[in-house]
Amino acid sequence: MRIAVIGTGYVGLVVGSMFAKVGNSVVCVDKDENKINILNRGEIPIYEPGLKQIVLDARDEGLIEFTTDINKIKPANVIFLAVGTPSSDSGEFNLDFIKAAAKEVALAIKDSEDFKVIVVKSTVPPGTSETIKSIIRGIADRVDFAVVSNPEFLKEGKAVDDFESPDRIVIGTDSEKAK
């Protein structure tokens, strides 16, 4: 399967690396050129036991790529959105990053003829999937796609173990095709 991950922070890097570990072709995209350069040198900018070797092995096998080029997501069957959604002091989520990511994804896939599953990994309030769907539909109106919510429950320092043996998996969608 071809997988794209938007965002190479804690969640995005772990998710992308673990999908590559099991044999998927993964492209991880981030706007931060410095972070991409660090990853391409084989360095891991977060602390997570075992992750560096997983990334190095996947890279050596040609299963993972790190880039700033959003157009590299075009061949992906599944696109994970794993960007930051910081909350304010009042507890409200700032959805600017995920909305911007949805717009960039839409622009990159607007000419695609393949069905795409867009998976929201970021922590977001209810209704955000509809917002993302609307953003993508507004730009890529001919693309067949579904938006799926799959929040992440990784614990720092245990993320590799949590990914391999999760204590829960939550997936939500109204799309029969995505199921």
Domain-embedded: residue 177: no
Q: What percent of the chain has pLDDT over 90?
A: 77
Q: How many domains, in total, are found in the chain?
A: 1
Residue 126, in any domain of the structure: yes
Query: Would you state the pLDDT for residue 119?
Result: 97
Q: What is the pLDDT of residue 120?
A: 96
Whether 112 is in a domain gets the answer yes
Domain presence at residue 21: yes
Answer yes or no: is 143 within a domain. yes
- pLDDT band at residue 73, thresholds of 50, 70 and 90? very high
Domain contains 171:
no
**CA dist., res. 87 & res. 78, Å (int):** 27
**Exposed, middle or buried by CB within 10 Å (0-12, 13-18, 19+), for 164?**
exposed
Strands, E, within the chain: which ranges? 2-6, 25-29, 64-67, 78-81, 116-120, 145-149
**CATH code for position 116:** 3.40.50.720
pLDDT band, residue 21 (cuts 50/70/90)? very high
**Domain around 46:** 2-164
Assess whether pLDDT exceeds 80 at residue 179.
no
Residue 176 within any structural domain of the chain: no
Q: pLDDT band for 60, please (50, 70, 90 cuts).
A: very high
Q: Look at residue 37 and tell me if it is in a domain.
A: yes
- From residue 166, alpha-carbon distances to 111, 119, 152, 163 in Å are 36, 18, 10, 6
Tell me the pLDDT tens digit for each residue of 96-116: 999 999 999 999 999 999 999
pLDDT beyond 90 at 125 = no
- pLDDT score recorded for residue 175: 86
Q: Which of 16-20, 69-73, 147-151, 154-158 has the lowest mean pLDDT?
A: 154-158
